[in-house]
Amino acid sequence: MGKNIIEKIFEAHLAYGDLKAGSPVGLRVDQVYTQDATGTMAWLQFEAMGLDRVKVPLAVSYIDHNMVQSNFMNPDDHKFLQSIAAKYGAYFSRPGNGICHQIHLEQFAAPGRIALGTDSHTPTGGGMGMIAIGVGGLDAATVMGGSPFELNMPQVIKIHLKGKLQRPWVTAMDVILEILRRLTVKGGVGKIMEYGGPGAGDLSVPERATITNMGAELGATTSIFPSDKRTKFYLSAIGREADWMELKADKGARYAEVIDVDLSSIEPMIAQPHSPDNVVTVKSLGNTKIDQVCIGSCTNSSYQAMKAVASILKDNTVAEGVNLLINPGSKQVYEMIAKEKLTSDMIAAGARMLEASCGPCIGMGGAPGSGQVSVRSFNRNFKGRSGTKDASVYLASPVSCAVFAVKGEIVAPRESGLHISSFKEPSKYLINRNFIIPPKADASDINVIKGPNIKEAPVKEPLQDKINAEVLLKLGDNITTDDIMPAGSKILPFRSNIPAISEFVFENIDKTFSNRAEEAKSKGGGIIVGGENYGQGSSREHAAIAPMFLGIQAVIVKSFARIHRSNLINFGILPLQFENSEDYDRAENGDQLVIRDLNATISGAQKYIIENTTQGYTFTVVSTLNEREQEIIKKGGLLPYTRARSGM
C-alpha cells in the first residue's frame, strides 16, 4: 500500500505505537528549539531534571520575543538562556539574529526530520519537508531529556494544489488565508495537512513556509510540503545542499480527506477583525481607511517578502496619517536587503524600520492608537493582542500591506496603480552564522546565571480523589491563550516568574479573576467552563501553569485546542468535556461543582458524574486521556511524573 509523507517520516522515527489515527505514538525527535518567552520555563524545567546535557541531536535556544528591554528582566532572561544553552549543549541564537522560525528554516530545518519548538508556529519548517510541531515548554524539556515525543496520531489531510499563483500581486499568504476562510480556526484540529499536487512545484520553500506557518491558525498539529527540486534549490542557495533528500507521497497513498485548491483562482485576501478565519477578498472590502501597517512576523518576513515590499515602496511615500512599521525576519534577510539598498527604499518612503524580532506581532511595541485600524502581514488578529483593546486589526499579505501603506486605505492591489517588480528566487543567499553560538564541548566551568525575576516553576500536588470547586469563569467558543494569559510589553517580562504573571490571568476578560481565584483556592479551588476550541493559538504553557498556580483544578469545555490541552495535562489540570452541550448552557458563574472518585474514573471509563450543588442537578463530562496522560494527571503533572519514572 502506498504511504503518505507523514507515514514515511513517522515510521522512520517511531519509538512505539502504531500509526492509527487517534492512537498514541511515540516519536524520536531530531531537533528541539525554544524561544525566549517560553524558553525560560522550558530550560528551568530541563534543569530540574538533573541531567548534564541535552539528549537530542540538535537543540537551539533563540531570543526573539522579549526584546524591548524596558528594564532588567528581558536582558536577564537573555543572559540566563545563553548560559544555560552553553551549560547543557544547545546552540544559542543571539538577540538581533531574528525570529526563531525564520532562522530555523535558514539554518537547521531539513527534509525528513522531526523538530519540536516551544512555539505554535514551529510548523514553518514544514515548508522544508520536515515534521515540525509546536509544543509546550515542559514537553520540549522532557524530549531534550531523552524521552520520545508522544502524541495521538492525527488524521492526515491532503491539500491538493494545482495551477499557479497570479504573481506578483498574489502571494502564499493569500493561499493560507483562503484555506482559513474555507476550513476555519477549528478546521485542522487533530489533523496534519499534507500539501501536494502539481501546484506545489509552483511554490518556493519560503512561500511554502508561509503556508505551513499559518497552518497553526487552522488548529492543525502541523503542515508539510514534499521535498523536491524546489527544496533542493533553496537548500543549495543557503549552502546546505547536503541536507536535501527527496520526499514524496507514494502512488495510492491514503488520506482521511482530500481538499482541492486551485492556485490560479486565488485573489488577494484579507482577514478582518478579530479572527484569522474571518477572511474575504481585499476587493470586496475596498476603501477602508487605515492608520497603521505592520510588515514582518514569522509568517511573512523572508527576503522575498521584503524585496516585494521594497519594490512597491520605492519612490513612493507612506500615506499621511499612516504609520508603517517593518520587521525583517532575520539578520540574514536584513543584511541582504541592506546590501542591496532595499532598506534605503523603505526608509526613503517613510517606513519605521524595527529590529529582526517578533515586535508588534506580540504587542512588544507598535501598538495602534485607540480605535485605530491596523493592517498586518502577521498571523493572528485576536482582540487586544496588538496591545490596544479597541483597535481593529486586519491580516493581509506583505504585498497588499505595502500597497495599503502607500494608499492610506485598503484597496485592491492590482487596481492601485502602483508598480511591483517580479521576483526571481536567489540562487545564493548571504550566509553569515556569526550570531549563532555553537554548543561548548566542555561545560564544566559554566555557571547558569539567573536574574532576580527568574523563579522556579511551581509544581502541583498529586490528584486528590475529589474536586469541590467553584465555576470562576464561563466563557464562549474559540477562547485563545492570549485571552487566558495575555502577552504584550507589560506582561511578557514576567514569563520567568509564575507568581507575578499569575496576576494577569484573564486580565482582558475579567480583571478580578486572579483575586477571585486566590480566594477560592483555600475553599477547594476553581473551575473554568468554555465552549469549542478552548485554548486556540499559542503554545504558551503559562496559560496552564498560571491558572494551576491560582488553584484551577479542572477546565470543562465542549472541545480543546491541541497544544493547550497538553499543557493543561502537563500541569495537572483535568481537561474535561461536556457530554451534552445543554449542560454547557446550564452552567453558571459561581456554581459549586463536586466530582468524586477521580482516581478510579480516570483509569476507568473516564465518564465523570458532576454534582452542581448550587443549582441542584448532576451532569456527565468525559475525558479522553490516554494511559500516559492518566498517570501524568494523577502525579500532578509531567515533571513529577518524569521524576517518579526516573527515580529522581
By annotation, the residues acting in catalysis are: 64-65, 119, 380, 538, 540
- For the four alpha carbons of 5, 11, 13 and 14, in that order, the dihedral sign comes to positive
Interaction with ligand SF4 in 525-584: which residues (CB under 6 A)? none
> Cβ of residue 99: shortest distance to ligand SF4, in angstroms?
5
207 binds ligand MIC (CB under 6 A): no
Judged by CB under 6 A, the residue of 74, 97, 102, 120 near ligand MIC is 120
Position 247 contacts ligand SF4 (CB under 6 A) = no
CB of 359 to ligand SF4, least distance (A): 8
* CB-based burial label for 506 (10 Å; 0-12, 13-18, 19+): buried
Contact partner at residue 66 from ligand MIC, ligand SF4, none, CB < 5 to 8 Å by partner kind: none
Quick one: which segment of 239-247, 354-362, 521-529, 621-629 binds ligand SF4 (CB under 6 A)?
Answer: 354-362
Determine, following the binding rule CB under 6 A, whether residue 362 of this chain makes contact with ligand SF4. yes
- 2: CB partners within 8 A, 6+ apart: 249, 250, 251, 252, 253, 254
Q: Which does 297 bind (CB under 5 to 8 A by kind): ligand SF4, ligand MIC, none?
A: ligand SF4
Site for ligand SF4 (CB under 6 A): how many residues?
11
Interface residue with ligand SF4 among 358, 555, 557, 561 (CB under 6 A) is 358
Binding-site partner at residue 235 among ligand MIC, ligand SF4, none, CB < 5 to 8 Å by type: none
d(CA 477, CA 466): 28
Tell me which residue of 235, 224, 230, 204 sits closest to 7, measured CA to CA: 224
By beta-carbon distance, which residue lies closest to ligand MIC? 538
Q: Does 361 bind ligand SF4 (CB under 6 A)?
A: yes
Q: Which is nearer to ligand MIC, 488 or 524 (CB)?
A: 488
The interface partner of residue 539, options being ligand MIC, ligand SF4, none and the CB cut-off 5 to 8 Å by kind, is ligand MIC
Angle between helix 205-214 and helix 229-237 axes, rounded to 10 deg: 110
Separation in Å, CA 524 to CA 338, 521, 550, 568, 615: 59, 6, 11, 18, 18
**How would you label 270-304 residue by residue, b for 16+ Cβ within 10 Å and e otherwise?**
bbbebbbbbbebbbebeebebbbbbbbbbbbbbbb
For residues 80 and 120, the answer to whether their CB atoms sit within 8 Å is no
Could you say which of 9, 60, 175, 362 contacts ligand MIC (CB under 6 A)? 362
What is the smallest separation between the CB atom of 321 and ligand MIC, expressed in angstroms?
Answer: 28
- In the set 539, 567, 612, 642, which binds ligand MIC (CB under 6 A)? 539
> Of ligand MIC, ligand SF4, none, which one sits near residue 99, judging by CB under 5 to 8 A according to partner kind?
ligand SF4
d(CA 58, CA 56): 6
Question: By three-state DSSP, how is residue 462 classified?
Answer: coil
Q: How far is the CB of 149 from ligand SF4 (least distance, A)?
A: 20
Q: Least distance (Å) from ligand SF4 to the CB of residue 379?
A: 5
User: What does 460 interact with, of ligand MIC, ligand SF4, none (CB < 5 to 8 A by kind)?
Assistant: none
Instruction: Kindly state the smallest distance separating residue 583's Cβ from ligand SF4, in Å.
Output: 35
Would you call 466 helix, strand, or coil by DSSP? coil
Please identify, among the stretches 11-19, 105-113, 356-364, 637-645, the one whose residues bind ligand SF4 according to the rule CB under 6 A.
Answer: 356-364
Say which entry of ligand SF4, ligand MIC, none residue 526 contacts (CB below 5 to 8 A, set by partner kind).
none
- What is the 8-class DSSP label of residue 536? B
* Binding status of residue 37 toward ligand MIC by CB under 6 A: yes
Q: Does 487 bind ligand MIC (CB under 6 A)?
A: yes
Among residue numbers 56 through 85, which ones bind ligand MIC (CB under 6 A)? 65
Please identify which residue in 48, 298, 401, 598 interacts with ligand SF4, judged by CB under 6 A. 298
Cell numbers describing residue 412: 485592491
Least separation, in Å, of the C-beta of 358 and ligand SF4? 3
Q: Does 140 bind ligand SF4 (CB under 6 A)?
A: no
Contact between 121 and ligand MIC by CB under 6 A: the answer reads yes
Which is nearest to 552 in space by CA: 473, 648, 635, 479? 473
Question: Which positions ≥6 away from 191 have C-beta within 8 Å?
Answer: 154, 155, 156, 157, 218, 220, 221, 256
Angle at 142 between CA 297 and CA 627, to 5 degrees: 110
Choosing from 538, 553, 566, 577, the residue that interacts with ligand MIC (CB under 6 A) is 538
Q: Which of 87, 208, 230, 540 binds ligand MIC (CB under 6 A)?
A: 540
**Residue whose grid cell is 478546521:** 187
Q: Which three three-digit cell numbers place residue 610?
A: 458532576
Please confirm whether the linkage preceding 640 is cis (ω < 30° from 0).
no
Cell numbers placing 217: 491558525
Q: What share of the chain is helix, strand, coil (3-state, %, to 5)?
A: 35, 20, 45
Which of 78, 87, 121, 565 touches ligand SF4 by CB under 6 A?
Answer: 121
Taking CA 457 as the corner, what is the angle to CA 456 and CA 460, rounded to the nearest 5 degrees? 130
| 385 is an interface residue for ligand SF4 by CB under 6 A | no
Q: In terms of CB distance, is 297 or 623 closer to ligand MIC?
A: 297
- Please tell me whether residue 565 adopts helix, strand or coil conformation: helix
Closer residue to ligand SF4 (CB): 44 or 358? 358
Examine residue 99 and tell whether it contacts ligand SF4 (CB under 6 A).
yes
Task: State the binding partner of 540 from ligand MIC, ligand SF4, none, CB within 5 to 8 A by kind.
Answer: ligand MIC
CB distance 268 to 174 below 8 Å: yes
Locus of grid cell 564544566: 444
| Interaction of residue 38 with ligand MIC, rule CB under 6 A | yes
Q: Beta partners for 269?
A: 281
Which strands make up the sheet holding 91-93, listed edge to edge?
Answer: 131-134, 114-117, 31-35, 58-62, 91-93, 436-437
Residue 226 binds which entry of ligand SF4, ligand MIC, none, CB below 5-8 Å type-dependent: none
Give, as ranges, the residues between 581 and 620 that touch ligand MIC (CB under 6 A): none
Contact between 210 and ligand MIC per CB under 6 A: no
Angle at 177 between CA 174 and CA 183, to 5 degrees: 140
- What residues pair up with 324 in beta bridges, in sequence order? 293
The site that binds ligand MIC (CB under 6 A) totals a number of residues, namely 13
User: Footprint of ligand MIC on this chain (CB under 6 A)?
Assistant: 37-38, 65, 119-121, 134, 362, 487, 537-540
User: Footprint of ligand SF4 on this chain (CB under 6 A)?
Assistant: 65, 99, 119, 121, 297-298, 358, 361-362, 378-379
